[in-house]
């Protein structure tokens, strides 16, 4: 293939930019297509392992030959030695990137679509894991702020906006770690490498073993810690007669459907028939979520476990879409009640987001006092995890102010 060179200013109008050959070597790219579609975190079969070994070995060879070992300029005698670049070193570096990297998120978005990228922040790459973490890591996409727009008078004496020349917006990633629990001097700041959502000990340890290759011995997983034993009694899934994965699959289907219904309802204009059809769909998914709740109860899954908590969140969403705000409020409260005993094992931002939805449903019911109370509680919860200058926290502050005006 070929890639266009940089276009330079020339004398002739409409001149075709000079093109040059692509520097990438003519390798068998089908191999990398196979690599892309293979789960390399597991490499569970000999065939998958062979694909990985061959692809990375060739990749390192081509990088050495075409990019690393070339002359660094015509007048330079310095040659960059690429002998270090091997599959082994590649694995080592990528292991550090995958193990120490963090997701860039927009926590104001719906669960499941919050991750918008990834980053490696060297100053935040040395925290140990804790299932009941002492710290919360936030990583979000930031802009440098709006351009300065001073007010000026035109020739007629009228005030106009004139954009002052300055540097363009500079996007970047803002990373922070905030302590979400009290620490004594010398206590380590731990972060959770997995989602904190009310999983039991076996589930957490399995995820960590498969994703990070270690057996967790944190304070929440210690069988000698009385607090950990209490948490385990609140979330422990029965070893037999229980299919948590099937319940999660049903919940995921319901959630995606409800998000689509909400989007379509938002975009409807003067189409009563379509709106009624969407509300009927929402009601059908409400019944499905309620059936899922019965399945959770029949399988003796604890009220504080992830799937039990998620059922309340989904039901609150469905009921709110149908305008049944009093019932939605009850499910919001059930959610918060289930989270409270295992608060240390639960994502504070997810809790704060639920408080925000609770507040909005109260306000829709005309309960401005209760809505403001919950918005303040939401802001304080998010502030602890994200800091007062995080965009999500400032947006809740703005919502509080607009509610006060109302």
pLDDT at 36 over 60: no
Please say if the pLDDT value at position 69 is more than 60. Answer: no
The percentage of the chain sitting over the pLDDT mark of 90, rounded to a whole number, equals 51
Q: How much is the pLDDT for 76?
A: 39
Q: What is the mean pLDDT of residues 391-397?
A: 92
Q: Residue 121 — very low, low, confident or very high, per pLDDT cuts 50/70/90?
A: confident
Q: Given a cut of 90, is residue 153 above it in pLDDT?
A: no
| 257: pLDDT strictly greater than 70 | yes
Specify the higher pLDDT residue, 310 or 164: 310
What pLDDT does 286 receive? 97
Mean pLDDT for 384-390 is 91
Higher pLDDT, 211 or 19: 211
Highest mean pLDDT among 70-79, 152-161, 272-281: 272-281
Confidence (pLDDT) at 200: 95
The per-residue pLDDT for 154 is 47
Q: Does the pLDDT of residue 135 top 70, yes or no?
A: yes
Does pTM top 0.85 for this prediction? Answer: no
More confident residue, 23 or 300: 300
Tell me: pLDDT of 276 over 80.
Answer: yes
Q: What is the pLDDT of residues 177-233, one digit of tens each?
A: 999 998 999 899 999 999 889 999 999 999 999 888 899 999 999 989 999 999 999
pLDDT of residue 32: 55
Angle between helices 46-63 and 87-100 (to 10 degrees): 100
What is the rounded average pLDDT of the residues 302-323?
96
State yes or no: pLDDT of 23 exceeds 50: no
- How confident is residue 16, by pLDDT bands cut at 50, 70 and 90? very low
Among 24-28, 30-34, 128-132, the least confident range: 24-28
When pLDDT is cut at 50, 70 and 90, the band that residue 13 belongs to is very low
**Distinct helix (H) and strand (E) counts, the chain:** 12, 10
**Over 80: is that where the pLDDT of 290 sits?**
yes
pLDDT of residue 66: 60
Which of 247, 248, 358, 236 lies closest to 301, judged by CA?
A: 236
pLDDT value of position 253 = 94
Range with the poorest average pLDDT among 230-234, 296-300, 388-392: 388-392
Is the pLDDT assigned to residue 149 strictly greater than 50?
no
> Which one is predicted more confidently, 129 or 154?
129
For residue 163, is pLDDT > 50? no
User: What pLDDT sits at residue 105?
Assistant: 80
């Amino acid at each position: 293939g070929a890639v266009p060179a940089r276009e330079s200013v020339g004398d002739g109008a409409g001149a075709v930019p000079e093109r040059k050959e692509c520097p990438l070597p003519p390798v068998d790219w089908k191999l990398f297509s196979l690599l892309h579609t293979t789960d390399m975190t597991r490499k569970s079969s000999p065939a998958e392992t062979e694909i990985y070994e061959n692809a990375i070995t060739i990749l390192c060879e081509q990088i050495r030959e075409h990019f690393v070992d070339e002359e660094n300029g015509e007048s330079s005698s310095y040659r960059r030695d690429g002998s270090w670049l091997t599959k082994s070193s590649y694995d080592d570096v990528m292991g550090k990137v995958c193990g120490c990297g963090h997701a860039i998120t927009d926590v104001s978005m719906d669960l499941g679509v919050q991750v918008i990228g990834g980053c490696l922040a060297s100053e935040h790459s040395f925290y140990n894991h804790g299932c009941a973490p002492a710290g919360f890591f936030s990583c979000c996409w930031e802009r440098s702020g709006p351009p300065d727009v001073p007010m000026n008078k035109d020739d007629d004496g009228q005030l106009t906006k004139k954009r002052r020349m300055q540097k363009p917006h500079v996007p970047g990633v803002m990373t922070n770690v905030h302590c979400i629990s009290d620490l004594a001097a010398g206590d380590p700041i731990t972060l959770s490498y997995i989602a904190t959502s009310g999983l039991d000990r076996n589930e957490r340890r399995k995820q960590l073993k498969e994703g990070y290759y270690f057996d967790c011995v944190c304070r929440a997983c210690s069988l000698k810690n009385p607090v950990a034993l209490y948490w385990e009694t609140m979330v422990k899934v029965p070893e037999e007669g229980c299919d948590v994965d099937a319940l999660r699959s049903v919940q995921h289907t319901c959630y995606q459907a409800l998000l689509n219904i909400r989007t379509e309802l938002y975009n409807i204009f003067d189409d009563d028939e379509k709106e009624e059809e969407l509300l009927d769909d929402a009601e059908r998914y409400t019944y499905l979520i309620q059936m899922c709740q019965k399945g959770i109860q029949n399988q003796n899954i604890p009220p504080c476990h992830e799937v039990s908590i998620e059922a309340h969140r989904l039901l609150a969403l469905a009921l709110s879409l149908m305008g049944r705000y009093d019932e939605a409020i009850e499910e919001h409260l059930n959610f918060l009640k289930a989270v409270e005993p295992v608060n240390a094992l639960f994502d504070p931002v997810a809790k704060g987001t639920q408080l925000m939805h609770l507040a909005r449903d109260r306000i829709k019911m005309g309960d401005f006092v209760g809505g403001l109370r919950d918005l303040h509680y939401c802001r304080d919860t998010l502030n602890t995890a994200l800091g007062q200058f995080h965009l999500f926290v400032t947006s809740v502050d703005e919502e509080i102010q607009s509610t006060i005006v109302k």
